Amino acid sequence: MNTMIAPSILSGDFSKLGKTVEDLTRAGADMIHIDVMDGHFVPNLTIGPAVIAALRPYTTLPFDVHLMIEQPELSIADYHKAGADILTVHAETTHHLQRMLKQIKDLGAKAGLALNPATPPDMMDYVHDLLDLVLVMTVNPGFGGQAFIPSTLHKIHTIREKMNSFGDHHVLLEVDGGIVPETAALCVQAGANVLVAGSYVFRASSLEEGIQALQGVQAH
């Protein structure tokens, strides 16, 4: 499977997110990563279903919605209705993770499980049959522009081994936080196949160059 690039609009200009989504699509993104933060699970507040619904007409690319919110079961249907294709929840945000993931699948969306840097890979063991994606946080969630945490590489490797032993070859292994070409290469080597990148892509000389530089790490 080729490595996919999912730029995070968190680093874009919030006064023109529609244009940003269009520009990222034209620049060769594979998915649009949308960071939803509630000010409780993480110390930052971003956007909700209304903004996601407003962005939906601007691209046909999948919306990869990363929910950093407590009790996602209360609003998951709204995010799906707004146009989310992948709904990723953090292991710690719900008392009933299996039920939560099943609820996402029953809606007809793809289900993702996000693991914080200190959350063990075993969290996926008893829910792997419901998963379409595992998101390994390579920074603590909440903000863009943070430094990559190297101890997460071993976890990526462990998860890739688990996926192989479970036969979960269709499940995406995504990394998020501090991704630049150097850290991207390490993550891909460890088994990741979806790279989320915010600040790197938006600080590049163009969105296209930023995306291409990350796509280039496949070769290593």
Which partner, Zn ion, ligand DX5, none, binds residue 177 by CB below 5 to 8 Å per kind? Answer: ligand DX5
| Binding partner at 69 among ligand DX5, Zn ion, none, C-beta below 5 to 8 Å by kind | none
User: Which does residue 199 touch among ligand DX5, Zn ion, none (CB within 5 to 8 A, set by kind)?
Assistant: ligand DX5
Q: At its nearest, how many Å lie between ligand DX5 and the CB of residue 216?
A: 17
Q: What is the DSSP letter of 113?
A: E
14's enclosing H/E stretch is: none
Catalytic residue among 23, 64, 132, 176: 176
**DSSP-assigned letter for residue 43:** S
Q: Least distance from C-beta 20 to ligand DX5, angstroms?
A: 13
Q: Please state the closest distance from residue 183 (CB atom) to ligand DX5, in A.
A: 10
C-alpha pair distances (Å), 214 with each of 14, 102, 188, 194, 218: 23, 33, 10, 10, 8
Q: Which does 80 bind (CB under 5 to 8 A by kind): Zn ion, ligand DX5, none?
A: none
For tokens 């600080």, name the residue: 203
Active-site residue, 23 included: no
Signed CA dihedral, 160, 28, 8, 67: sign only: negative
The answer to whether residue 176 is catalytic is yes
Distance (Å, whole) CA 108 – CA 121: 25
Which of the following is catalytic: 30, 35, 64, 132? 35
Closer residue to ligand DX5, CB minimum distance, 47 or 106:
47
Nearer to Zn ion, 61 or 166 (CB): 61
Residues with Cβ < 8 Å from 19, sequence gap 6 or more? 58
> Please, which residues bridge with residue 64 across strands?
33, 86
Using CB under 6 A, list all residues that contact ligand DX5: 8, 10-11, 33, 35, 66, 139, 141-142, 144-146, 176-179, 196-200
List residues near Zn ion by CB under 5 A.
Answer: 35, 66, 176
Q: CA geometry: angle at 144 spanning 91 and 16, to 5°?
A: 110
Other Cβ atoms within 10 Å of 50 Cβ, number: 10
* Residues designated as active site: 35, 176
